[in-house]
Chain A
């Protein structure tokens, strides 16, 4: 019955078998690395629902190994029973959360605005400021990437003290804008260079000014690049710890500073630490899952010519 008309030759069958084996190895490796990437996140979520005995037993799977409890989230004031009640910890957490959100969003927006303008100018016109030509100006902006934060940190600390900008959100926003600006310029220059100049030329012929052409013709096309730059900046500024730890103390603390100060204290329980850590990373996990396309676009800008 199984006398097929077309039969795979001996070598073909060996090839299929090898191909199948190769596929299996690839999937095994992929799954292994996916576990390496995801397990810490899973561990944090699950630990935030554990109690002391669960932690000591090393329970891993909820409802099988242990019974989930709201312990960690109750200590943050975010569990179902405590969400309606007053909670100083939650107020503290929300304050830090909004500090982080405000600084990250404002710094990223300012950087995207300033950076897009500069990148557009550099990709379209030729400048001369003294001895500096376009390539020198670009290099000047991009060379800021090499500058390690620690070089600026202490001078800024002293300057901010004199200017009463220490422990303010504005101070942090200025510095964060500075740190992400080179990256934004890098991404946006790549983006603008991929837009043909004929578009603005047509707009100029139609009687628009340079700025008019920029806003009405170029910006809509460059929007994906701007979103990519914005999201990448958002990730970097949300996670920034070094400057925030040095320059803020009570009012403008961001979330990483709060997490770090909790980590330092010895008595803190794992479940509440896990809840706090997870709350700190959850916005970025959401961004990463939903806007992955833009992140990749941002990271690969200029890498492939």
Chain B
């Protein structure tokens, strides 16, 4: 009884505070609120009451709910609510630096997106960037095989290979992108000149710039795939590879017929997780090329970032992000379905 009372009571407080603030926002009364924080505090109170009431109402069963409920409430309030709010923003024209505030403009943003070559270009770049994962995968697999062979100082190599993953992309974009690739003094540029490339410019032409960004990103994230594949390799029973050896299979053949098929599930997990991370790629692009030259290196995230930075255009930026989300969800669903079919043991 008391449990229900506190839930409904606190919910009532949230409603009242929110209503009072909305009234002030609409200009009916002035209650002296500076920000929307009171509503936030009321909401937190309600969340706490909801958790507490679970124990009061449902006893032992409620205590079990209490394990999941806080995390669920946290995620719901931090994603579902902003996403709904984002949907509202997406269909309005809202320039944060202009005094007009938010204005509903229907489908104008969609029309603008349709004829925005830079957005489509950024989406196309994302496809290129994602395709680069296949190359990363091959390198990561090769490195994992090397690490898995009988070598000394394995720990040293493992730590060394892992380090790029630890470095902040922003620092990496200076360390490698801005200094090592610098045309006059950078060591890689010197090396390229020594190899016979007369005028090494790594961000000059669109193709080279995109390849450079791909390489930088690969450098950071290859360790991640390598570690996952290495774990998979170590889980393969030794007897299997030894049996193949006894049967007289060459290493090449035993790799393709024994190791690789066994590694398929791990590989697919690694590639899928890598794709998810790749779709968030932005830090390096923002700091190194700002999308240039001519949008050749733009990712969707960096494009929206600049759209906000340069034009404070919240409405249009949000719409682009929402469309991106829909595309990602569709693509990931298809990929998961494909992966499921592909990874199933062949009969």
Please state if B175 and A44 are interface contacts (CB–CB under 8 Å): yes
Q: CB-CB < 8 A to B149: which residues of A?
A: 26
* Complex partner residue of B318 from A56, A155, A299, CB under 8 angstroms: A155
Question: B227 — which chain A residues lie within 8 A by C-beta?
Answer: 296, 299-300
Q: How far is the CA of A55 from the CA of B180 in the complex (A)?
A: 11
Determine if B100 is an interface residue (Cβ-Cβ < 8 Å): no
Question: From residue B263, how far is it (CB to closest CB) to chain A in Å?
Answer: 10
With contact pairs A43-B175, A158-B89 given, residues A178 and B74 touching in the complex (Cβ less than 8 Å): yes
Interface residues of B in 153-169 (CB under 8 A from A): 155-169
Q: Which residue of B lies closest to A209 (CB)?
A: B63
B79 A34 Cβ-Cβ under 8 A = no
Query: If the complex has contacts A148-B280, A152-B79, are A121 and B68 also in contact, measured as CB distance less than 8 A?
Result: yes
Determine the residue in chain B with the shortest Cβ distance to A118: B71
Tell me what chain B mostly uses at the interface: helix, strand, loop, or mixed. helix
Report whether A117 and B160 are in contact in the complex, using a CB–CB cutoff of 8 Å: no
Known: A146-B329, A153-B321, A239-B167. A263 touches B173 (CB 8 A): yes
Q: Are A154 and B86 in contact (CB under 8 A)?
A: yes
B314 on the A face (CB < 8 A): yes
Query: Given A121-B68, A146-B276, A263-B178, A155–B82 Cβ distance below 8 Å?
Result: yes
A155 touches B35 (CB 8 A): no
The A-contacting residues of B in range 304-328, CB under 8 angstroms, are 304-305, 308, 314, 317-318, 321-322, 324-325, 328
Known: A151-B83, A210-B63, A263-B173. A146 touches B332 (CB 8 A): yes
In the complex, chain A residues whose CB is within 8 Å of the CB of B294:
none
Instruction: Provide the residues of chain A in CB contact with B168, threshold 8 Å.
Output: 238-239, 241, 255-256, 259, 280-281, 284
Is the beta-carbon distance between A43 and B167 smaller than 8 angstroms? no
Residues of B within 8 A of A185 (CB): 71
Q: How far is the CA of A44 from the CA of B178 in the complex (A)?
A: 11
Asked if A263 meets B174 with Cβ closer than 8 Å, knowing A29-B146, A117-B68, A147-B325, the reply is yes
Q: CB of A20 within 8 A of chain B?
A: no
Question: Quick check: is B204 within 8 A (CB to CB) of the other chain?
Answer: no
Residues of B within 8 A of A299 (CB): 224, 227-228
User: For chain B residues 332-346, which have a beta carbon within 8 Å of chain A?
Assistant: 332
* Nearest neighbor of A126 in chain B, beta-carbon distance: B64
Does A163 belong to the interface (CB within 8 Å)? yes
> What distance in Å separates the Cβ of A30 from its nearest Cβ neighbour in chain B?
5
User: Nearest chain-B residue to A301 (Cβ)?
Assistant: B231
How many contacts A-B (CB < 8 Å)? 280
How distant is the Cα of A289 from the Cα of B167 in the complex, in angstroms? Answer: 12
Using a Cβ–Cβ cut-off of 8 Å, how many residues does chain B contribute to the interface with A?
Answer: 96
Q: How far is the CB of B95 from chain A (nearest CB, A)?
A: 12
In the assembled complex, the Cα of A131 lies from the Cα of B187 at a distance in Å of 59
A17 at interface (Cβ–Cβ under 8 A)? no
CB-CB under 8 A for A295 and B162, given A30-B151, A147-B79, A150-B324: yes
Q: Which residue of A lies closest to B282 (CB)?
A: A242
Question: Does A101 make an interface contact (CB < 8 A)?
Answer: no
Given A30-B151, A150-B321, A159-B85, the answer on whether A36 and B35 have CB atoms closer than 8 Å is no
* A153 CA / B154 CA spacing, docked (Å): 41
B301 proximity list for chain A (CB < 8 A):
148-150, 242
A157/B175 contact (C-beta < 8 A), A26-B146, A146-B328 known: no
Residues from chain B with a CB closer than 8 A to the CB of A60 are: 187
User: CA separation between A305 and B235, bound complex, in Å?
Assistant: 9
Asked whether, in the complex, the Cβ of A277 is within 8 Å of the Cβ of B175, the reply is yes
Give the interface centre of A149, A154, A162, A257 by most chain B CB atoms within 10 Å.
A154
Closest beta carbon of chain A to B56's beta carbon, Å: 15
Cα distance A115–B96 in the bound complex, in angstroms: 35
B60, B74, B82: which has the most chain A beta carbons within 10 Å? B82
A33 at the interface (CB under 8 A from B): yes
Chain B residue contacts of A203, Cβ below 8 A: none
Contact A154 B321 (CB under 8 A): yes
Which of the residues A36, A151, A281 comes within 8 Å of B324, measured between beta carbons?
A151
Alpha-carbon gap, A115 to B143, bound state (A): 32
Contact between chains at A150 and B166 (CB < 8 Å): no
Task: Report if B270 contacts A (CB, 8 A).
Answer: yes
A141: nearest chain-B partner, CB-CB: B75
Asked whether A125 is an interface residue with its Cβ less than 8 Å from the other chain, the reply is: yes
- Is B97 interfacial (CB 8 A cutoff)? no
Distance in Å from the Cβ of B274 to the closest Cβ of chain A?
12
Knowing A288-B163, A299-B224, A304-B231, the reply to whether A117 touches B276 (Cβ < 8 A) is: no
Show the binding face of B for A, using Cβ within 8 Å.
34-37, 40, 60, 63-68, 70-72, 74-75, 78-79, 82-83, 85-86, 89, 94, 96, 142-143, 146-147, 149, 151, 155-176, 178-180, 184-185, 187, 190, 219, 223-224, 227-228, 231-232, 235, 265-266, 269-270, 273, 276, 279-280, 282-283, 286-287, 300-301, 304-305, 308, 314, 317-318, 321-322, 324-325, 328-329, 332
19 A-B pairs with CB atoms under 8 Å apart are: A40-B164, A60-B187, A117-B66, A118-B67, A121-B65, A147-B325, A153-B321, A155-B318, A181-B75, A210-B63, A241-B168, A241-B286, A242-B282, A285-B166, A288-B163, A289-B159, A292-B155, A304-B231, A304-B235
